[in-house]
């Protein structure tokens, strides 16, 4: 009996029932079969030897596709588990899970021996042998009883727990390669020999299934690529990322610190505070020009406000609470409810709208201790929140303005960015009709502005869909920062109104907007993006003066006052150290400009300027230098 197969280009082909994905690929071209690693049947990933049983949409998955790379890495994780079993003994190693993650994979294992970097090298060597053996990888579907019996014989308690928690109607499959068999959904490469280039990166402790009440396993991280060149490029980026780690640079450059007395809560040191203030001033300047008014709402508000807003039902597990006069209060995790009260404080007319209010508001959200990560994941941060109260007919024009503002923001820092449209989550608040209207509005404005985006289904806020902005840093890593959220729910919850042309009350629509997202996180991102060498306008110290000897200190102080009066951030290093040593220190501090002041400069009333950018030395007078730097700072250089 024949079946009808539709290919991605729309072509229709006919095959015998149970023709495999590999056979379909080969019927199209020999080269396609050679480069194929899996297939998709009606969007479902399957192995190459999977038969097509009925009329279907079939796609051939190539090795160099995103799905192909994921399968490549997943199969490498299995090879790693097989190698560990071979080295340490099948009964001495209990396997957990080995999923693919961004840029690699890991496998959680229970083994008595703590693994070191030398052990990882031995595991890599054994993996190389398994790859050379080119073992076929076979999928076998089994009943729940067979699976339980199989892993009981292997004495694999973690696998048995996974099987026990599978839904009753789950299809249970095992993957076999040589003497090794693992519980897995798949798909996998057709054989171990298809694995090209890999590297084991590190080992760390991890709670089984992420639960702190469970045992701690050893988690081995690795990565795999389709060529040695791609692997080496990735390893170079990892090394570069280590050098740029904001926690390391933050300490070396004296920007911020953390303390066990306040876990997950950053302390800003003087230089870090200068950067944060510069960021806020930059943001304020652009927002004022765009018609925003700045407000400030309390850090802590009554529980009933959070119940009214919906945060209590959807967010209370991430909030901090206390009692005031026997009444429950909460530290704010978001600024939205406070801004609703500010809007409601005055009688509003349709002539007043749009109203754009912004706040640099400190918020608190409870993160588990294991999730904390320097400035990137904290428990308190400053959110550059804004709420736009608009007429329904102003929605698209106001979102367009926000899109232009965000683009202007990110271009100053040299960031490219990607856009996601996040749609209705499972725990959404409000009617389907309003959600449909909100999602259609956001989609329409993105298309109207010619902005490429991908849909992130189910990841919207509980009160509305959103547009999320993912910036790409100097290492092309993606960070979610800005957001635009369209909200028909809060106006209902807080009974917000304006008086229309007909003298009746109407509901405004609220647009939630953040550009930095978290200023703290943005600082962490910038620290890594610039590798601590901040542009002139952001540098906490823009100029360092280096008098050659003590007799030049007075002249250095004259120059310092002149520069500081002009608004430049300047320091004098007059320590009793050699000039070369002080220059190297300033270079390590990544100071944009160093001014060397000796006899000739003092006699001529000039300065010798050494630039961080090209390390060249040139001479001019202080006023000319001030004019040059002021022009650069005004241009956000």
Active site residues: 336, 365, 383, 385, 387, 466, 512
Residue located via tokens 């390590």: 588
Residues 581 and 607: beta-carbon distance below 8 Å: no
CA atoms of 56 and 591, how far apart (whole Å): 62
Residues 88 and 35: beta-carbon distance below 8 Å: no
- H or E element at residue 129: helix 117-133
CA atoms of 415 and 392, how far apart (whole Å): 32
Reduced DSSP (H G I as helix, E B as strand, rest coil) percent helix, strand, coil of the chain, to 5: 40, 30, 30
C-alpha separations of 397 from 38, 253, 390, 404 in Å:
45, 43, 10, 11
The three-class DSSP label of residue 411 is helix
C-alpha separations of 621 from 245, 404, 555, 566 in Å:
38, 40, 13, 14
DSSP 8-state assignment for residue 90: G
DSSP 8-state assignment for residue 166: S
HSE, CB side, 13 Å, CA atoms: give it for residue 301.
23
Give helix then strand counts, H and E, for the chain. 20, 35
Task: Report which of 319, 291, 287 is spatially closest to residue 305, judged by C-alpha positions.
Answer: 319
Query: Helix 270-289 vs helix 519-529: angle between axes, to the nearest 10 degrees?
Result: 110
Cis omega (within 30 of 0) for bond into 583 = no
178 backbone φψ class: left, alpha, beta (φ>0; ψ -120 to 50): left
- 165 Cα distance to chain centroid: 31
CA atoms of 367 and 364, how far apart (whole Å): 9
> Which residues contact residue 499 at a Cβ distance below 8 angstroms, ignoring those fewer than 6 apart?
347, 348, 349, 350, 505, 506
> Which residues contact residue 325 at a Cβ distance below 8 angstroms, ignoring those fewer than 6 apart?
none
The strands making up 543-547's β-sheet, listed across from edge to edge, are 570-572, 543-547, 593-597, 607-611, 617-620
Q: Is the dihedral of CA 478, 479, 484, 489 positive or negative?
A: positive
Task: Report which of 417, 434, 424 is spatially closest to residue 461, judged by C-alpha positions.
Answer: 424
CA atoms of 151 and 163, how far apart (whole Å): 10
Residue located via tokens 């490498």: 76
> Which residues contact residue 396 at a Cβ distance below 8 angstroms, ignoring those fewer than 6 apart?
441, 444, 445, 448
Q: Rounded to the nearest 5 degrees, what angle is found at the Cα of 467, between the Cα atoms of 466 and 472? A: 140
Residues 546 and 597: beta-carbon distance below 8 Å: yes
Residues 222 and 201: beta-carbon distance below 8 Å: yes
């Amino acid at each position: 009996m024949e079946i009808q197969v539709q290919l991605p280009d729309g072509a229709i082909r006919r095959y015998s029932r149970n023709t495999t994905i590999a056979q379909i690929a080969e019927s199209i071209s020999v080269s396609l079969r050679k480069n194929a690693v899996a297939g998709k049947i009606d969007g479902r990933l399957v192995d190459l030897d999977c038969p097509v049983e009925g009329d279907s949409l079939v796609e051939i998955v190539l090795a160099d596709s995103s799905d192909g790379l994921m399968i490549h890495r997943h199969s490498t994780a299995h090879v790693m588990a097989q190698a560990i079993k071979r080295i340490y003994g099948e009964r001495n190693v209990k396997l957990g899970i080995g999923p693919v993650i961004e840029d690699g994979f890991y496998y959680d294992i229970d083994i008595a021996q703590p693994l070191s970097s030398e052990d990882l090298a031995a595991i890599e060597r054994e993996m190389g042998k398994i790859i050379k053996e080119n073992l076929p990888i076979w999928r076998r579907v089994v009943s729940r009883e067979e699976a339980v019996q199989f892993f009981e014989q292997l004495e694999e308690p973690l696998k048995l727990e996974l099987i026990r928690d599978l839904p009753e109607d789950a299809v249970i499959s095992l993957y076999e390669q040589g003497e090794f068999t693992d519980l897995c959904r798949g798909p996998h490469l057709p054989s171990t020999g298809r694995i090209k280039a890999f590297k084991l990166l590190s080992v760390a402790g991890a709670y089984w299934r992420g639960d702190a009440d469970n045992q701690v396993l050893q988690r081995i991280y690795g990565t795999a690529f389709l060529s040695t060149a791609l692997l080496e490029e990735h390893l170079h980026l990892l090394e570069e990322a280590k050098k740029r780690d904001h926690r390391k640079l933050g300490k070396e450059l004296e920007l911020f610190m953390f303390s066990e007395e306040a876990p997950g809560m950053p302390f800003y040191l003087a230089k870090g505070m200068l950067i944060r203030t510069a960021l806020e001033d930059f943001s304020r300047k652009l927002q004022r020009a765009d018609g925003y008014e700045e407000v400030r709402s309390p850090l802590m508000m009554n529980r009933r406000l959070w119940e009214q807003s919906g945060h209590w039902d959807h967010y209370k597990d991430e909030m901090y609470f206390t009692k005031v006069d026997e009444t429950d209060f909460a530290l704010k995790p978001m600024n939205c409810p406070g801004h609703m009260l500010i809007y409601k404080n005055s009688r509003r007319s349709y002539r007043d709208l749009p109203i754009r209010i912004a706040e640099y508001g400190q918020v608190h959200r409870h993160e588990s201790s294991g999730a904390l990560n320097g400035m990137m994941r904290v428990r308190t941060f400053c959110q550059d929140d804004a709420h736009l109260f608009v007429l329904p007919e102003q929605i698209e024009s106001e979102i367009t303005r926000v899109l232009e503002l965000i683009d202007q923001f990110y271009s100053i820092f040299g960031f490219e960015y990607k856009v996601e449209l996040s749609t209705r989550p499972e725990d959404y608040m409000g009617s389907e009709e309003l959600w449909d209207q909100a999602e259609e509005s956001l989609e329409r404005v993105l298309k109207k502005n010619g902005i490429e985006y991908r849909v992130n289904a189910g990841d919207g806020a509980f009160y509305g869909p959103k547009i999320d902005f993912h910036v790409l840093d100097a290492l092309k890593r993606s960070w979610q920062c800005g957001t635009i959220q369209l909200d028909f729910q809060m106006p209902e919850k807080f009974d917000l109104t304006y008086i229309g042309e007909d003298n009746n009350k109407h509901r405004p629509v609220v647009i939630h907007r953040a550009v930095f997202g978290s200023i703290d996180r943005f600082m962490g991102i910038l620290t890594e993006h610039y590798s601590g060498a901040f542009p002139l306008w952001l540098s906490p110290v823009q100029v360092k003066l280096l008098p050659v000897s003590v007799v030049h200190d007075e002249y250095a102080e004259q120059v310092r006052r002149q520069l500081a009066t002009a608004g430049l951030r300047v320091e004098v290093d007059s320590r009793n150290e050699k000039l070369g040593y002080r220059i190297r220190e300033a270079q390590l501090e990544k100071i944009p400009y160093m001014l060397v002041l000796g006899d000739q400069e003092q006699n001529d009333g000039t300065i010798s300027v050494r630039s961080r950018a090209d390390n060249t030395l040139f001479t001019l007078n202080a006023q000319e230098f001030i004019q040059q730097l002021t022009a650069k700072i005004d241009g956000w250089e």
